[in-house]
Amino acid sequence: MKVTKAQAQANRAHVVETASTLFREHGYDGVGVADLMAAAGFTHGGFYKHFHSKTDLMAESAACGIAQTAALSAGVDMSEFVRVYLSREHRDARATGCTMAALGGDAARQPEAVRATFAEGIESLLSAVNSEGTSLQGTDPAETRAKSLDMLAHALGAVVLSRACPDDSPLADEILSTCRDKILASLSPSTTASTRRRNTA
């Protein structure tokens, strides 16, 4: 039976979503095309009806995962974002968590198409955390961008370092809690200043 255009598009989207999850869990080199297609419920041969290469799928699945994180981040109070992002739950949920944290190291070794997708993703995340209603929004666009970039890099790096430790390592939790507290303090400079004044009074 001939597959309709709508069904073909749905099948492609399903493969992309499946790849997004598997790549985050196992890395780009940890998942082959055959295993990926089997996980999506399709044959290996069907892959090339949708994609020219694995690199194409890597780039598209990264864009899919990053878009999910950006959508969840838009308009969210940054303190809440930091608490969720630097939680043990997010740290342990690699397959469904932030694509940047799960695959940033892998992306650095991939073709330009994949790295370009990550660069675009960074910009989309910056836009999300700077969207109207967020606590990072300020009067100076350059300062706001620098602050949001610093916050994202700090949070993402903390998750990467924590995941590099054994799951039952106290250091894994220490990294998350220390960085979470430091970032939250940086988001509330007035609160930090008043605390210092009380402590020195």
Instruction: Give the position of tokens 């892959």.
Output: 47
Tens-place pLDDT, residues 104-121:
999 999 999 999 999 999
Q: Out of 25-39, 41-55, 64-78, give the one with best mean pLDDT.
A: 25-39
CATH architecture of 5-191: Orthogonal Bundle (1.10)
Give 140's contacts (C-beta < 8 A, 6+ positions apart).
none
Tens-place pLDDT, residues 145-183:
888 899 999 999 999 999 999 999 999 999 999 999 999
pLDDT at 195: 38
Tell me the one-letter amino acid at 137.
Q
The answer to whether the Cα torsion of 85, 87, 92, 96 is positive or negative is negative
Provide the residue ranges of all domains of the chain, joining segments of one domain with +: 5-191
